[in-house]
Amino acid sequence: MALKATVYKAELTISDMDRHYYATHALTIAQHPSETAARVMVRVLAFALFAEDRLEFGRGLSSEDEADLWSRSLSGELELWIYLGQPEEARIRKACGRARRVILIGYSGRSFAIWWEKMAANLARCSNLSVIEIAEGNADALGALIDRNMRLQCLIQDGEVQLLSETQTIAVTPLIRQTAS
């Protein structure tokens, strides 16, 4: 019998002082059976970092041809494509050809650092690609926040992120590895 996705609901209140974005979003997040709690919560963090009215979750792990998060313009063009993890170079290049902006968020600690050392020179040619690293300990701490019904607040100021639940506060400082030109 095939395993089914676990569904989480989150009320995410974002106060992003860096972008002057303030909103509350009602999110429904499906966790693929092979997806960790840390990865689910890194997706929530990615949503908070790049939140806008049209940003939505893709099918992620269940579809290789979709982003983990993405947004489209009113005319249907792909504006933003967000990948998590360490996708193949071909997938990143394809996304860079399809979307105006592509963001890659790595979160697996030393394995991401090794992957980035191998890929940095080749991906530097992708002018619309930004690469961000979340420290491994931060990803694990974020995973501890997961709950079927979450009420989260996200404060972003001076590049530092604080994600607050009813019982915990996690501070994350994303490391920018590459910025789109």
Q: What is the pLDDT of residues 96-152, one digit of tens each?
A: 999 999 999 999 988 999 999 999 999 999 999 999 999 989 999 999 999 999 999
Does some domain include residue 36?
yes
* Mean of per-residue pLDDT scores for the chain: 93
Q: Which residue has the tokens 């979340």?
A: 134
Average of pLDDT values for 36-45? 96
Cα 13 to chain centroid distance, Å, stands at 16
Helix, strand, coil % in the chain, rounded to nearest 5: 25, 40, 35
Q: Are 59 and 84 in contact, with CB atoms under 8 Å apart?
A: no
pLDDT of residue 132: 97
Does some domain include residue 15?
yes
> 32: how many CB neighbours lie within 10 A of its CB?
16
What's the number of domains the chain is made of? 1
Does some domain include residue 153?
yes
Does some domain include residue 174?
yes
pLDDT of residue 2: 59
pLDDT of residue 109: 83
Range of the domain at 74: 6-178
pLDDT of residue 62: 55
pLDDT band at residue 90 using 50, 70 and 90 as cut-offs = very high
Q: Are 171 and 162 in contact, with CB atoms under 8 Å apart?
A: yes
Does some domain include residue 65?
yes
pLDDT of residue 61: 56
Q: Are 178 and 124 in contact, with CB atoms under 8 Å apart?
A: yes
Does some domain include residue 1?
no
Does some domain include residue 136?
yes
Angle at 105 between CA 100 and CA 107, to 5 degrees: 175
Check residues 133 and 33 and name the one with the higher pLDDT: 133
Does some domain include residue 26?
yes
Angle at 25 between CA 41 and CA 97, to 5 degrees: 70
pLDDT band at residue 57 using 50, 70 and 90 as cut-offs = very high
At 131, list the tokens: 């690469």
pLDDT band at residue 63 using 50, 70 and 90 as cut-offs = low
- Assign residue 124 the CATH number of its domain: 3.10.640.10
Strand partners of residue 83: 104
pLDDT band at residue 60 using 50, 70 and 90 as cut-offs = low
Query: Who contacts 36 (Cβ-Cβ below 8 Å, separation ≥6)?
Result: 143
